Amino acid sequence: MSSNGIAGGAKDALSRFFPMGGMIALLAIVAFVGIARVGCVNLHTPAGHEGYVRSNPFVGAGEFVGTQEGPTSTGWVWRQRLVNIDVRPRTYSEDMSILTRDRLELEFRAHARIRLRQGEVASVVEEYGGEAWYDNNVREQFRASVRERVQALEPFEVKEQYVEIAESVLEEMTARYEDTPIEFLSVDIGNIQYPDVVVDSVIRKFVTNERNERKDIELQIAQKQVEIGEAEAEGIADSQRVIRTTLDPMFLQYEALEAIEELSEAENATFVVAPAGEDGVAPILMNVGGAGQRTGPVTGAERPARESADRDEARERAARQEGER
């Protein structure tokens, strides 16, 4: 049997088992399944996310199809694409290094807790950059708000007022994004790090304040000592003034009588008391055993008589010495 005869027989056999129409149908089914597997997708959105679904044509831009809230999926759909946006609250932290009012650099971290409003995923994707919404629309605005407030303060004022700074930034950001899908929940300032120059400056300032306070205390003590000395001097002057203005002859006589009373208690004491003169001076005390030697105080009324007696005594002593020679 020739080769042409064998080939013709095989062809006849295939024709009997697979008619031409059946072959075409089989090829169409295979092509459809292949195309379906290439173009059909099942798009899934996890919990805490919202999905933005749009068409994915072979040519041209896709169109918005709809949104879905996770956890869910679209089921098998023809050539569509999905963008999932996390709408859960998240904390975005920014490391910042800012020059304060006195030109000293301060390092710290600013934390913003933000979430996206539910049902606004279409606006987030179409107007705010989709998944990059924070970097494209919030990050620099948030940093600028913090920088503006910190630059107006000194380094240690930042630490003292970090709560007020955070509240002020939160108020500004809330008002700024009020009509957007972005919602600020809280703002915090932390991890404040002062450079060495700031720490050294504070130490020097502290030591200087300690020295100034010590000098102030020493000055206050010196002033008190001066005030005490002035008060003592004024007291002495006042007492002297009182003595000068209140020491009258009657008081002097009283003092003289007190002295006589003390002398009367002495042993072998013999004295004569002369009465006081008209001017009210103290009495004259004369020792009886002596030649007119005075044992009491000399008063103004006594002085002329005393001087005359002394002269007479001197003349008598000179006459006795002349006679002896």
In a shared domain, residues 115 and 150: yes
* 32 is a domain residue: yes
Q: Return the pLDDT at 294.
A: 46
Write out pLDDT tens, residues 29-58. Answer: 655 555 555 578 899 999 999 999 999 887
What does the alpha-carbon distance between residue 262 and residue 293 come to, in Å, rounded to a whole number? 19
* 5 is a domain residue: no
In a shared domain, residues 58 and 119: no
* 273 is a domain residue: yes
In a shared domain, residues 51 and 99: no
Write out pLDDT tens, residues 204-259. Answer: 777 677 777 788 887 888 888 888 877 777 877 777 776 666 666 666 667 777 77
Q: Return the pLDDT at 208.
A: 73
* 249 is a domain residue: no
In a shared domain, residues 81 and 99: no
> How does residue 66 score in pLDDT terms, banded at 50, 70 and 90?
very high
- CATH number for position 171: 3.30.479.30
pLDDT at 18 over 60: no
* 171 is a domain residue: yes
In a shared domain, residues 35 and 48: yes
In a shared domain, residues 94 and 80: no
Q: Cis ω on the peptide bond leading into residue 71 (within 30° of 0)? A: yes
Domains of the chain: total: 3
Q: Return the pLDDT at 31.
A: 58
Amino acid identity of 97? S
Q: Tell me the average pLDDT across 285-294.
A: 48
- Of 85, 113, 144, the one marking the end of a domain is 85
The parent domain of residue 110 ranges over 90-194
Sign of CA dihedral 161, 163, 164, 165: positive
* 220 is a domain residue: no
In a shared domain, residues 297 and 313: yes
* 9 is a domain residue: no
Q: Return the pLDDT at 154.
A: 87
For 89, residues 6+ apart whose C-beta sits below 8 A from its C-beta are: 113, 114, 115, 185
Give all strands (DSSP E) within the chain, no chain letters: 40-45, 49-55, 64-69, 72-78, 80-86, 90-99, 105-116, 182-193, 271-274, 284-287
- Of 70, 85, 100, the one marking the end of a domain is 85
> How does residue 134 score in pLDDT terms, banded at 50, 70 and 90?
very high
pLDDT at 68 over 70: yes
Name which of 77, 25, 37 is nearest 53 in CA terms: 77
Q: Tell me the average pLDDT across 62-72.
A: 91
What does the alpha-carbon distance between residue 75 and residue 73 come to, in Å, rounded to a whole number? 6
* 231 is a domain residue: no
- Of 135, 170, 194, the one marking the end of a domain is 194
> Is the pLDDT higher at 245 or at 126?
126
In a shared domain, residues 100 and 188: yes
pLDDT at 156 over 70: yes
What does the alpha-carbon distance between residue 169 and residue 186 come to, in Å, rounded to a whole number? 9
